[in-house]
């Protein structure tokens, strides 16, 4: 699979996602095709169908009422989501992560953007850890599916859409 107007894993062309820095390295989330979005949406629906906005809102409200610190409130709100993720099959969870990472790129020291995964879905860089992998996955979900899920948009804490920065 070739990149946008690129070869050998190097990317060029219009940038449509977020640019984020993880562990002092710049990454970009990319655009999934309509069919990739559909299949990703299909795999993610069970996570959100049982949770809904009201479950998360109730948890946040209860934690806030007892004066819990903001970071505790955020972690408490993830409880139902964490439960749903833990019940997901390995095949489904790997599909989600690999699909998302397939459109992510990383800026190399020469200023070029290279894919973070090989065509097989394996990571191209040994220094990408679990936290970086999850941040990239969530960025792709936010960029590609943020408007599909009910309730608050998947964006920054102010509710504004994340805007890609320019290099």
pTM summary value = 0.68
Q: Taking Cα atoms as reference points, which of 93, 85, 94, 89 lies closest to residue 120?
A: 94
Domain that holds residue 51: 10-145
Inside any domain, residue 45: yes
Residue 147 sits at the vertex; the CA angle it makes with 145 and 148, to the nearest 5 degrees, is: 65
Inside any domain, residue 161: no
pLDDT digit of tens for each residue in the chain (167 aa)? 333 333 344 444 555 678 999 999 999 999 999 999 999 999 988 777 655 555 556 656 666 666 656 655 556 666 666 777 788 899 999 999 999 999 999 999 999 999 999 999 999 999 999 999 999 998 999 889 887 755 444 444 444 444 444 44
Inside any domain, residue 106: yes
Which structure tokens are listed for 147?
A: 């408007």
Inside any domain, residue 162: no
Inside any domain, residue 166: no
Inside any domain, residue 30: yes
């Amino acid at each position: 699979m070739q990149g946008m107007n690129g070869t050998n894993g190097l990317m060029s062309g219009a940038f449509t996602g977020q640019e984020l820095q993880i562990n002092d390295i710049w990454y970009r989330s990319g655009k999934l095709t309509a069919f990739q979005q559909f299949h990703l949406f299909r795999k993610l629906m069970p996570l959100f169908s049982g949770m809904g906005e009201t479950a998360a809102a109730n948890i946040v409200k209860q934690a806030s009422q007892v004066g819990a610190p903001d970071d505790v409130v955020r972690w408490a709100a993830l409880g139902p989501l964490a439960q749903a993720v833990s019940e997901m099959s390995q095949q489904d969870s790997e599909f989600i992560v690999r699909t998302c990472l397939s459109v992510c790129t990383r800026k190399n020291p020469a200023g070029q953007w290279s894919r973070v995964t090989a065509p097989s879905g394996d990571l191209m860089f040994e220094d990408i850890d679990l936290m970086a992998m999850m941040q990239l996955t969530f960025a792709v979900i936010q960029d590609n599916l943020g408007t599909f899920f009910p309730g608050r948009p998947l964006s920054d804490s102010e509710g504004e859409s994340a805007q890609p920065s320019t290099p």
